[in-house]
Amino acid sequence: MTAILVAEDDPNICDLLTDILEVELYATVRCERTGRLALRAIETAAFDLAIIDVNLPEISGYELAMRAANRNLPALLSSGHPNDDAKLRKYEFPYLAKPYRVGKLISEAAIAITQAGENIRRIRASFVRLEATTEGLKVVMTESDRPMNESKALLARCSPPELPFDVVDDWLTRLASRPKWG
């Protein structure tokens, strides 16, 4: 019998997927609602497929898919957010855009299971591309921090020292109590 892990934080979607996969693929389905619990399931049980929401709490769906691939478990990522869908498409992850039709779910699940080696290769390659972009962004952020820090240091050297709050408060009190001109 086919065993499928569904990693999905929405209990309604989890229940719906369980019903569909049990009926249409005659599969046993295990749902986990956090990335940490799904990872534990991947490490301790045997599955033929993992269907993973990218926005899981605790461990991202991307990281979870890579961990699944490292255990030779094919995966389909899923999301209902346009930005996530664009990211999944850009990096060529095997995925399902929510909402998806039952026929699409069944056909993509069957393809992922029957072509497990290709699915795992795609997950790994997509994750490498995603990480390369992330590393590139970290370098750019670090480089952009340097001029900002230099500007702060220059401003600190050029600015007069700050007066203590009590000196400023005392000065404002005396200013307010002075007689008005005119």
pLDDT at 182 over 60: no
pLDDT digits (tens, 9 = 90+) for 38-91: 999 999 999 999 999 999 999 999 999 999 999 999 999 999 999 999 999 999
CB 74 within 8 A of CB 116: yes
The domain covering 3-132 belongs, at the CATH homologous superfamily level, to Response regulator (3.40.50.2300)
d(CA 30, CA 41): 9
**Sequence spans of domains, the chain:** 3-132
Query: What's the confidence (pLDDT) of residue 133?
Result: 80
Query: What's the confidence (pLDDT) of residue 174?
Result: 72
d(CA 26, CA 152): 63
pLDDT digits (tens, 9 = 90+) for 116-156: 999 999 999 999 988 888 665 556 566 666 666 666 666 66
pTM of this structure: 0.74
pLDDT at 165 over 90: no
- Please list the residues that pair with 78 across neighbouring strands: 53, 96
